[in-house]
Amino acid sequence: MDVASHLRLAMSLQKQIMEDLKAAMKAKDLPTRDALRMLKTALTEAELTKGGALDSAEELAVVRRAVKTRRDSVEQYEAGGRPELAAKERAEIAALEKYLPAQLSEEEARAAIEAIAAELGLCEKKQMGALMQAIMARHRGSIDGKLASKIAATILR
């Protein structure tokens, strides 16, 4: 583990975001700066709503929501013929994904979902809800929900 990774683990997510925000401002990296400012605001709002400090799982949930919102925006901008705004949102997604755990590749996700389905004995379409619940319980944050749903639909007959 290099020094930067060790520091990132030792530092709380919010402190790391502040450090990265300062660096983005100095480097005049506008998409990263904007994304981190919005993330900082979302984390502060979540703390106020909770009435206290967030634990690491709650912080990651806020980051996931921010990424999901931007992915939805990319789809809307592309459907609306606004590729420049979609590109801006993609740049912000890239800046935010640094704070999330690594995602499984499609092949790794397929293997994990097939293993869960086999373990639980699920093979029919009507069992999709149970499979999705098990997938999200075991792999929340490491498998995208839309991807998991698509793979689960192909596995179940």
Task: Examine the domain organization and report whether 137 and 68 are in the same domain.
Answer: no
What does the pLDDT read at residue 11? 55
Range of the domain at 120: 106-155
Q: HSE on the CB side for 130, CA within 13 Å?
A: 13
pLDDT score of 2: 42
- Give yes or no: residues 32 and 79 share one domain: yes
Residues 84 and 18 reside in one and the same domain: yes
Which pLDDT value is given to residue 128? 93
In this predicted structure, what is the pLDDT of residue 90? 96
User: pTM of the full predicted structure?
Assistant: 0.72
Within this chain, do residues 150 and 73 fall inside the same structural domain, yes or no?
no
pLDDT digits (tens, 9 = 90+) for 6-50: 344 435 888 999 999 999 999 999 999 999 999 999 999 999 999
Which regions of the chain are under pLDDT 70? Answer: 1-11
Q: How confident is the model at residue 93, as a pLDDT?
A: 96
Q: Which helix (H) or strand (E) holds 18?
A: helix 13-26
CA–CA separation, 149 and 129 (whole Å)? 10
Same domain, 16 and 92: yes
Please check whether residue 130 is in contact with residue 120, taking contact to mean a CB–CB distance below 8 angstroms.
yes
Helix (H) or strand (E) holding 80: none
Asked whether residue 110 falls in the same domain as residue 81, the answer is: no
